[in-house]
A and B are shown apart, each in its own frame.
Chain A
Amino acid sequence: MKMVVRYFKQHSRSTMIRFAIITFICLVAVTLLTQGIVQDYNRNKEFYETYGNSYYGYDHDWRVYPALPFHVFIIVILCTGLPMVEMSAFNSRKYLDSAFSFPISRVSMLSVNLINGYLQFILAYSISFAWYAMRLAPCADKLYFAPIWAFFFISLLYSLFLYCFNAFFFSLCNATVDGAITAIAWQHIIAVVLATLSDMFNFNMDEDHILMSIVWYPLGTISELYSDSASRNPYLSENDFKVIPIIMIVVTILAILFCAGTLFFFNRKRTESAGEISNTPVSYKVLIPVCAGMLLYWSLEGGGGIISLFALIFSTVGYIIYRRGVRLKVSDLVVIGVCFAAFIMGMMAS
Chain B
Amino acid sequence: MISVNINSHHLGGNLILEDITMTVPDGKILGLVGTNGSGKSTLLRLMSGVYVPDSGSVQYDGKDVTIPAVRENIFFLPDDPFFAGQTTGTGIFDIYKTFYPNLDRELYRTLLSRFKLDEKAHQRNFSKGMRRQFYIALALSARPKYLLLDEAFDGLDAFTKKTVIEEINRSVEENGSTVVISSHALSELETFCDLYALIEGQTVKSHGSLEEHAAKYSRYTLAFTEAPDPAIFSHLNVRDIDFRGKFVTVTLEGDAEKLYESLLALNPAVIDREKLSFEDVFITDVKGGRS
Contacts and interface: CB of A to CB of B under 8 A. Distances in A.
A104 interface: yes
Interface in B68-95: 68-72, 74-76, 78, 80-82, 94-95
Given A7-B98, A108-B68, A98 B81 contact: yes
Contacts of B101: 6
Given A92-B82, A101-B148, 17 more contacts: A3-B99, A6-B98, A6-B99, A7-B99, A94-B78, A94-B80, A94-B82, A95-B82, A97-B82, A98-B81, A99-B82, A101-B49, A101-B76, A102-B71, A102-B99, A271-B50, A272-B51
Query: Is the contact region of chain B dominated by helix, strand, or loop, or is it mixed?
Result: mixed
Nearest to A105: B68
Contact of B50 (A9, A100, A103, A105): A100
Nearest to B148: A101
A96 interface: yes
B48 interface: yes
A331 interface: no
Nearest to B41: A97
Contact of B68 (A97, A103, A273): A103
Size band of the interface chain A makes with B = 20 to 34
B45 interface: yes
B11 interface: yes
Contacts of A204: none
A101 B74 contact: yes
Contacts of A98: 76, 78, 81-82
22 contacts: A3-B72, A3-B98, A6-B99, A6-B101, A14-B95, A94-B80, A94-B81, A97-B80, A97-B81, A98-B76, A98-B82, A99-B82, A101-B49, A101-B74, A101-B75, A102-B99, A103-B69, A103-B72, A104-B68, A105-B68, A272-B11, A272-B12
Nearest to B75: A101
A273 B51 CA distance: 11
A10 interface: yes
Nearest to A96: B50
Interface string A1-32: 00100110110001000000000000000000
Nearest to A89: B82
B127 to A, nearest CB: 17
A101 B68 contact: no
Given A103-B99, A104-B99, A271 B68 contact: no
Interface string A93-135: 0111111111111001000000000000000000000000000
A7 B72 CA distance: 14
A344 to B, nearest CB: 33
A96 B82 CA distance: 8
Contact of A10 (B49, B50, B80, B94): B94
Top 6 nearest A-B pairs (CB, nearest first) are A97-B78, A94-B82, A101-B76, A103-B71, A103-B72, A101-B48
Interface string B51-76: 10000000000000000111110111
Given A10-B94, A101-B48, A271-B45, A3 B68 contact: yes
B79 to A, nearest CB: 8
Contacts of B81: 94, 97-98
Contacts of A14: 95
Contacts of A97: 45, 50, 76, 78, 80-82
B100 to A, nearest CB: 8
Contacts of A10: 94-95, 98
B12 to A, nearest CB: 7
Nearest to B78: A97
Contact of B71 (A94, A96, A101, A271): A101
Nearest to B71: A103
A38 B189 CA distance: 75
Contact of B49 (A7, A95, A100, A272): A100
